[in-house]
Amino acid sequence: MNRMIMDLIMKFAALGDSIIKGVLFNQEENGLGHYSLSDRNIVDRVAERLHSEVLNLGKMGCTIEVGERILERHLTRLDGAQYVLMCYGGNDSDYDWKAIADHPEGEHYPKTPLRVFEKTYMRVVNKVRELGYTPLIMSLPPMDAQQYFNFFTSTFSEVQKSNVLKWLKGSINTIWAGHELYNDAVKRVANATDCVLVDCTTTLGDGKGYLCEDGIHPNLAGQSKIASIILRNT
């Protein structure tokens, strides 16, 4: 990138979930694990290369509706930003797995209905653009459905695990299919709003070597790879 252009980029801002926040999952010998924050997350790496100030408004567990409220609360903090990176969908597409494990015969829905997710995301993107910033939308990183299943059922009884599998109609890949529905919605939002799509889904492939043991969070190699993709789009 031309150094003159780089010097004009005063602030690189980001909104989103734990992927933006830089959360890592650390597996422990007992089969459980804990979360920690990367010392150089995706946003830090990009801002470092752009020689810009960082504003990371990522929040673990954040859905698009929570993200919209965060944007409204921090409008003035975005002053000076050229780019606003956004990543939503991973939490929106997720379920209350404990509720499913306990009551597999009940009705269970994603945290954010798909239509609400898509409509709200478009509204957020348009708001960012109206404010004079350039929105960048990240597609969802790939997930390892088996690893994710092992992660969220790690404290479940065998009966509860069986109940979840029953609800998934015997196929763990049903988790991946739901994830992809929301990823497709992310792509539609980018297309409908004429927004740059940072396609980390394709670049990370099946995720092997790029995901933490929980099957959903990019590891350090994954974070570095995603940062390089973003830089190619700025």
pLDDT the model gives residue 24: 94
pLDDT the model gives residue 59: 96
Question: pLDDT of 164-211, one tens digit each?
Answer: 999 999 999 999 999 999 999 999 999 999 999 999 999 899 999 999
- pTM for the whole thing? 0.91
pLDDT the model gives residue 26: 85
Nearest to 14, CA basis, from 76, 81, 106, 99: 81
pLDDT the model gives residue 234: 76
Residue 50, number of CB atoms within 10 A of its CB? 23
pLDDT the model gives residue 32: 66
**3 pLDDT tier (thresholds 50, 70, 90):** very low
Does residue 53 contact residue 47 with C-beta atoms inside 8 Å? yes
Residue 147, number of CB atoms within 10 A of its CB? 18
* Residue 182 one-letter amino acid: Y
Cα 215 from chain centroid (whole Å): 13
* C-alpha count within 13 angstroms, C-beta hemisphere, residue 5: 6
**What's the CATH code, domain 3-232?**
3.40.50.1110
pLDDT the model gives residue 1: 44
Question: pLDDT of 21-69, one tens digit each?
Answer: 999 998 766 556 788 899 889 999 998 998 889 899 999 999 999 999 9
Question: pLDDT of 84-134, one tens digit each?
Answer: 999 999 999 999 999 999 999 999 999 999 999 999 999 999 999 999 999
* Helix residue spans in the chain (DSSP H): 3-8, 18-21, 42-50, 64-73, 97-102, 114-130, 145-152, 158-167, 173-192, 200-204, 220-232
